[in-house]
Amino acid sequence: MNLQELGWSPYFTAAFDRLAEPGCLPARVAIQMISGKYLLYCGEGEVQGELAGRLQYLASGPQDLPAVGDWVAVRIVPSEQRAVIVDVLPRRTKFSRRAAGKRADEQVVAANVDVVFLVQALDSTLNLRRLERYLVVASDSGARPVVLLNKSDLCGNLDDVVAAVDRVSAGAPVHVLAARDGQGVEELRAYLAEGVTGAVLGSSGVGKSTIINRLLGTEYLPTQEVREFDDKGRHTTTRRELVILPGGGLLIDTPGMRELQLRGGTEGLEAAFEDVGTLALDCKFRDCRHDEEPGCAVRQALDDGRLSPERFESYRKLLREIAFLERTGNRTEQVLYKDRVKKLTARHKRGYKK
């Protein structure tokens, strides 16, 4: 395989030269298997990989282990036709969320992505507030967000719905598709030149796998119809996978997400709600909370209809969630840091005794 076709760039060359051990080769994670093994793409072709013990031991959490889309340094074991992953190269971008549970662990959904396709279905499941949440996380990722409105054949008031999505898309391109019939899918190839990696994200049943199959030109990924009584999808994609498109480009397919918890930090929120931030610049007070303060430009926009109450409440809800995560996350990070120091200290002591 040609590394450039897989997304290799000078950024990764510099990182590999700095980190890799002698005799290592670069490879990209295509599939993360439930067994803890990985399918890797490299110059040698496809190879099955597994983690070096040192890499597992020093990881402070799942975010330090390889994710689909990651570039890794591997040692090939020719006699066993496998590779040992000895290091994960620094990620240029990453789409991540807060993992389920009490700990504030980060779950990397897709790494080194250039463009994020956020898919919504134009049926009863369309939810502008969910789309706003996706846009916040996509903006945090460092990748370019693109909104895909699939199943246009099921929408009776298409123009009105597209206009409503445009108002919350924060400048991200919006494309209308009917992927089952192939309508609008070819326009997406313009985003996926050779070596460019895209990720397709959205809830179950919105048509992610159908879109990828259309771009592949084959029924590679399984698809199912949504349930008729509530338009909810079934989880046909059960793992993340990096697929190579004919004619150039790569796509990461992901399982449908029932929930998408934020990770913290306000950069993505500010990008996804740029309209609210622009209004706030005209508030009389710099620390305006947009409640009852005099001279509040945001409240004025709510009163005259320039800003919808639903969008503003969504902004405040996400802001409260981020503030909570930052408070709890800081405490968790301190515990994880102390645990990592203990591991490193114990390892150094063992080496000193020898």
pLDDT for 29: 97
**Residue 339 pLDDT greater than 90, yes or no:** no
Helix (H, G, I), strand (E, B) or coil at 30: strand
β-pairing, 106-111 vs 82-88, is unpaired
pLDDT for 342: 57
* CA gap 265, 227 in Å, rounded: 37
Mean pLDDT of 288-303: 92
Q: Tally Cβ neighbours within 10 Å of residue 180.
A: 17
Mean pLDDT of 182-196: 94
Range list of H helices, the chain: 10-19, 53-58, 128-141, 158-168, 208-216, 267-272, 274-280, 297-304, 309-353
**Residue 337 pLDDT greater than 80, yes or no:** no
For the stretch 245-274, pLDDT in tens is: 998 899 998 875 555 667 666 788 899 999
Q: Tokens 């909104």 label which residue? A: 147
Superfamily of domain 94-253: P-loop containing nucleotide triphosphate hydrolases (3.40.50.300)
Q: Tokens 């206009």 label which residue? A: 163
Q: At what angle do helices 309-353 and 297-304 cross, to 10 degrees?
A: 140
Q: At what angle do helices 158-168 and 128-141 cross, to 10 degrees?
A: 40
pLDDT for 250: 95
CA angle 14, 30, 232 (to 5 degrees): 130
Average pLDDT, the chain: 84
Please count the residues of the chain. Answer: 354
* CA gap 232, 230 in Å, rounded: 5
Closest CA to 344 of 23, 31, 60: 60
Query: What is the CATH T-level fold of the domain 4-88, as seen in this structure?
Result: OB fold (Dihydrolipoamide Acetyltransferase, E2P) (2.40.50)
Q: Tally Cβ neighbours within 10 Å of residue 173.
A: 14
**Residue 219 pLDDT greater than 70, yes or no:** yes
Instruction: Say if CB 226 and CB 205 are below 8 A apart.
Output: yes
pLDDT for 36: 81
In this structure, of 69-73, 195-199, 335-339, the range with the lowest mean pLDDT score is 335-339
Instruction: Say if CB 65 and CB 76 are below 8 A apart.
Output: no
3-state secondary structure 47-58: EEEEECHHHHHH
Domain boundaries, the chain: 4-88, 94-253, 267-343
- For the record, the structure tokens of 324 come out as 């909570």
pLDDT for 79: 77
Q: What is the CATH number of domain 267-343?
A: 1.10.40.50
- For the record, the structure tokens of 298 come out as 């945001």
